[in-house]
Structure 1
């Protein structure tokens, strides 16, 4: 079938929207009419080749839409179902089989490789095949081929354009708090960097009953929004003489958890030193290569770990997030700004400039 897709041809050129030919779904695939898709920093990193993936490619990995067709092997989805799309996993490795699909041993290949697992490509143009299957979806397009592993049926009571970011950014931030940390009522947390992931962590911490929620950023507008969304305190890292000291003025013994979304080496040092005994730092952006943690920094039982996709199993966690939104516990609509699909380059520019927390592209012809 003919579809329209935004193609990243090279790291230095804007996205170009073209007509492509999309294959019919294979037995284990789902054809989804994309209604909306969030823009995530990972899309920008791949576009600019800070994360290796083959170009030209159709990116997009926070899609939401309506099922149009299913392969013969799909028995629990049908045309008309509303779905949110998330990350891909092989479903066969030890991590997948033990309930940890975010740590799939084939993560790089199935999310960034540009092909199906059998090496074929489903997107074609006159000049040749186009890499796709990005996170098992490539949702910067009017239609996407997904698999049952990364396609999550959701309630029809919530607009799909609102739910799109659940598939990655919101899942990562909220999951880090609720799954990775298992934050309990009365615990304390600092969130370094309040973008989409950080805001989601703040909202989840409030929902879980955290006693102290400290938002750390350099953007006063975002810090003010963080307080509206649940942060009990805000620290401007640009104005504070020492971030650790500022946190310990609020929580004298340190905090139970720090979620670092910045990846900055100086903030990693502050994260560790801001912990209480037995506290844990979670890294969702990795850390700069020059970041150093000394063994003595981890005295008193402190720990540092990487977190991918909030340790979520999307089929279980995304419906939970949808219900939290319905219950008013996760007001993600406060983070969103909508753009027409044709304005994709403007949306990326606004996100890079910090003017927008979570851009969401809408396909007007596909809206329900």
Structure 2
């Protein structure tokens, strides 16, 4: 019988951050593709669009005018999924039909006044302004007595459901800790309780020793393809220093974080020579007033594209009914991305 080789044979990989598994089937990457191919949207956009409700001075859907902003701009989402005025309430019918009200605040962050600039097209200094705003919003929202979690994220591209092409991200702050951060809190807390060390610090030490999944690093951050990655070109940016949240970043670390984002997103755009779609988001400690020494600051990037600009990864069938599955290995993805730096 042949000797197992992770580069060739089906296997499962464990994700210690959420306690779940992913099935890796590297041999399937060799199969021809006759499935759906996405249509590419034209990417030529003006620096200012008079019809865009996110551009400076334009009118938003609620009738308010945006200011003539010249840098990063934040406002309360006119159609937020969460509302600060939601009253307490809910019901429980036999433990099977359960609902509870959820209070929160949703904000929109326009990265730049330029309608035609995405993060990889902005310089590091401009991205640093975005990082500063993320830090400020996390700290201000986290101080509110009814906010226990602050989720900072971006959906880039129509393929990821972005409803406006003006480069922007969002913040959803709410009373409860959502499912994914809750899993990471539990897993990191269990590891910290057992080892008195950060799970991601020990993981990062192993990755730096191995190097096969590292794609970029600077003085303060490492960008890598996680060993347990689900999406074909999924990545993480992890702080080298064990810190819990963005509020603890020094000026030098904020510069390095902006640099890591710039380098990664630029490489993404080079991969298939398009404005690369993804969903990204920062995971950090909850703002529930508790000490969370287990938490280690990091940022996830989940891009959907698989083989080219027109072939995406679908989460269907087995993924919906069994567990996540991927074809190309994390090591192969890392090698392709690393070559673009």
Q: Which TM-score applies when normalising by structure 1? A: 0.21
Greater relative contact order, per chain length (Cα 8 Å cut-off, separation 6+): 2
Q: Which TM-score applies when normalising by structure 2? A: 0.22
Greater fraction of residues in helix: 1
